[in-house]
A and B are shown apart, each in its own frame.
Chain A
Amino acid sequence: MIQLKNLSREFQVGNQVVHALDNIDLEIAEKDYVSIMGVSGCGKTTLLNILGLLDTPSSGDYILSGINTSQMNDDEMAKIRSTKIGFIFQSFHLIPRLTAAENIEIPMILAGMSKQVRSEKVNKALARVNLTDRSDHRPEQLSGGQRQRVAIARSIVMEPKVLLADEPTGNLDSSSGKEIVKLIEELNAGGLTLIVVTHDKQIGKRSNRVVRLLDGKVISNQEQ
C-alpha cells in the first residue's frame, strides 16, 4: 500500500541544513495499524505530512497504491488527499462558523458532489461516530471528544484508504481519548489503513506495528 524508498526531507534553517527525515525506507501494508513514535523533533510529524502529501520529500520516492507521487503536481496531490487520505489532527481543525454537519460536508463540497449525495453521506458518517443528535451544533457547542468525532466523520466521509492521525488524543482527557482510540480502531478493523503519530504508549502497545524515529532515522520497526 505505502512504500517509502530512500526518502529524505531537508529543511534550510538559517545557514544550517536540518535533516528532518534521513534516508527512510518503510513499507506499510493495506489495513495495517501503525503507530509512529519518538521524541519531539524526531521527524514523525514531517513523515506524516509526507505520507499525507501535504509535504514533498527532498529526495527519494513515496509510492502510494502503486503510484509514485514524486512527479505529481499540486492539483494531483490535492485529488489524492481528497479521495484516498483522511486526516485527523490534535487540535481538530474544525471550521468554527459551520455546524458539525457542514464541517463534515466540506470535503464533498470541494469534490463537487451534489447536495443529495452529500446529506446522505453526512448522515451516515454522523451515525458512524454516534453524533446524529449533534449535527446542527457548532464546534464551540461540542466537547473535545465530540469535536474529534466530528473531525473523524469528516476524514472518513470520502471513504479514503488511509487514515492519518496526528496525536489524535493529545488535547483530550483520558476517557474521551479512549473513546477516540476505540473509534479509529473500529475503522481500522473495517479495512482502513491507520497510521497514528503519538506519544501515547497505550496506543503504541495496541497497534500492530510501532515505528520508532530518532533524528530523522527509523531506529526500530517492530510488529507486535
Chain B
Amino acid sequence: MKFFDLLFLAFSTLIRYPLRTMMLLIATSIGVMAVILLTAVGEGARDYITGEFKDLGTNLIIVLPGKNETSGGGGPADLAGIAPRDLTVEDAISLEQIETIKNIAPIIIGETPASFGGFERDVPVIGTTPSFLSVRRMEMREGNFLPGVTLDRSPPVCAIGTEVEKELFGTSRAIGQWLRVGDRRCRITGIIDSEGRAIGIDLQKIVVMPVSLATALFNRPSLFRIIAEAESRIYMDQIKKDIIRIIKKRHQGKEDITVVRQDTVMASFDNIFNVLTMALASIASISLFVAGILIMNVMLVAVSQRQSEIGLLKAIGAKNRQINKLFLTEAILLSGSGAILGLILGHSITQVLKVAFPTFNFLPPTWASVVSLIVALVCGALFGLIPARRASKLDPVMALTGEK
C-alpha cells in the first residue's frame, strides 16, 4: 500500500464523520493551544523580570544592608533588638581601596517634591555618583550626568528624566536652570535619555543628584545599596570576600551586609522562570494527554462500528499490518491536524493578547510549538496503537458477519 493511498483512505474516513473529526480536532487543538499560551505567559514573565536587570552593566556586585540569617537564631545583638548597622557613604568610600573595582555607585532613594517656576510635582530621587551612568548603561540626551561629583564631593547639580523636563519646563530649556528639590536647590546639568526602569523606578520620571546631597536632603545616612563594578569577571569572587572583610571591620566585626553577584541573581531568576515555564507546559500537556485518550476511545468505537469494513478489507487481501497502519494513520492524522490547528489558534491568540496587553510581552517559545506538536503526534500514535491492533486482530469471518 502506497503512502499517499494510505493517507487518502484515512482521510476519507475523517471526512465521512465530520462531527467526530471536529470534536477530536477541537480536543487536540485546545491541548496544544494551552501549551502555547501558558508557555507564552511564562516566557513573558521571565522577560519582564529579567528586563529589569538586563540594562545593568556586566560584572556587577551588589551590596545590600542587613544580612539574612538562615542558620538558627541570632546572636546577642539580635536579642537586644539592635537593628543592623546602616550602609553609609563612608562604607562606599572605604571600598575604593579594593583595586580591582572599577566603579562604585552608592544608591540612596527617596521621594520629594521638585519645583520650578510655578510647577511642582513629586519625583523619585536617586542619590548617587557618576559611576551610576556606566553601571546602569544609561545614555544622556544632552548635557552631563553629574559633573564634578565624587563619593565625598557633592556640588549642587542634578540630572532629570525626560518626563520631569516636559512637565516642569515644557518647551523651555531646562539645562542650566536651578531646580528646587525638597529644601535644596541644584542646577540641572543633563537630561537622561534612557527609558525603562531602574530598581523599579521609571527612568523618565527621576531626578538624580549627588549622593551626599541626597543624604542631607532626606536627613538619613543609610544607603539603599552599593553597586560595584569589577575590572573583570575573574576578580568578582575575590572582590566579594574583600567587601565583606572591609565592611565587617568597619562595623565592629559584625557581618551585617549581603553581597550578591548580579550575574548569579540573573541566573537564578532565569532558572526560576525556566522551571515555571516548564511547569506550565507540563500542566498544559495534561490536556494533550486527555485529548489522546479521547482519540483512543473514539477510535475503539470506530473499530467496532467498522467491523464489516475491516472484514471486507481482509477478504480482499489486506494484511493485518495494513489494517493496523490504516487505523494508526487515522489517529495520527487526527492528532496532527488538531495540533496544527492548535498552533495556529495559540499563536493568533498570543498576537491578540499582545495588542490587548502591550506592557506584558507574550513570548511563545519555539520549543513549545515543536514539543507540543511532537507530544500530540506521539499521543495520537500511542493511543491509536490499541484500537489499530484490535482492528488488525479481528477475525475476518466474525467481522464480516458481525454486521446487521
Mark the stretch among A57-65, A85-93, A190-198 that contacts chain B.
A85-93
**CB distance A93 to B12 under 8 Å?**
no
Chain A residue nearest to B16 (CB atoms) is A97
**CB distance A54 to B320 under 8 Å?**
no
**CB distance A74 to B316 under 8 Å?**
no
Binary CB contact string for chain B from 2 to 14 against chain A (1 if under 8 A, 0 otherwise) = 1001000100110
**CB distance A81 to B316 under 8 Å?**
yes
Mark the stretch among A108-116, A124-132, A141-149, A176-184 that contacts chain B.
A108-116
Chain A residues with Cβ below 8 Å from B316 are 81-82, 87, 106-107, 110, 154-155
**Cα(A74)–Cα(B392), bound, Å:** 11
Cβ-based interface call for B317 (8 A): yes
Contacting residue for B2 out of A54, A75, A112, CB 8 A: A112
Chain B residue nearest to A78 (CB atoms) is B319
**Cα(A82)–Cα(B315), bound, Å:** 8
Cβ-based interface call for A70 (8 A): no
**CB distance B308 to A93 under 8 Å?**
yes
**CB distance A91 to B403 under 8 Å?**
yes
Given A78-B314, A87-B315, A97-B12, check contact A110 B1 (CB 8 Å). yes
Q: Kindly state the interface size class of chain B when it binds its partner.
A: 20 to 34
Chain A residues with Cβ below 8 Å from B311 are 93
**Cα(A97)–Cα(B15), bound, Å:** 9
Q: Kindly state the interface size class of chain A when it binds its partner.
A: 20 to 34
**CB distance A158 to B317 under 8 Å?**
yes
**CB distance B9 to A82 under 8 Å?**
no
Chain A residues with Cβ below 8 Å from B86 are none
Chain A residues with Cβ below 8 Å from B317 are 78-79, 81-83, 107, 110-111, 158
**CB distance A112 to B1 under 8 Å?**
yes
Listed from nearest, the 3 A-B pairs whose CB atoms lie closest are A82-B317, A97-B16, A93-B312
Interface residues of A (CB under 8 A from B): 49, 52, 54-55, 74-75, 78-79, 81-83, 87, 89, 91, 93, 95-98, 102, 106-107, 109-112, 114, 154-155, 158
The 10 sampled A-B contact pairs (Cβ below 8 Å) are A54-B315, A55-B397, A82-B318, A89-B400, A93-B308, A96-B16, A97-B12, A109-B5, A109-B9, A114-B2
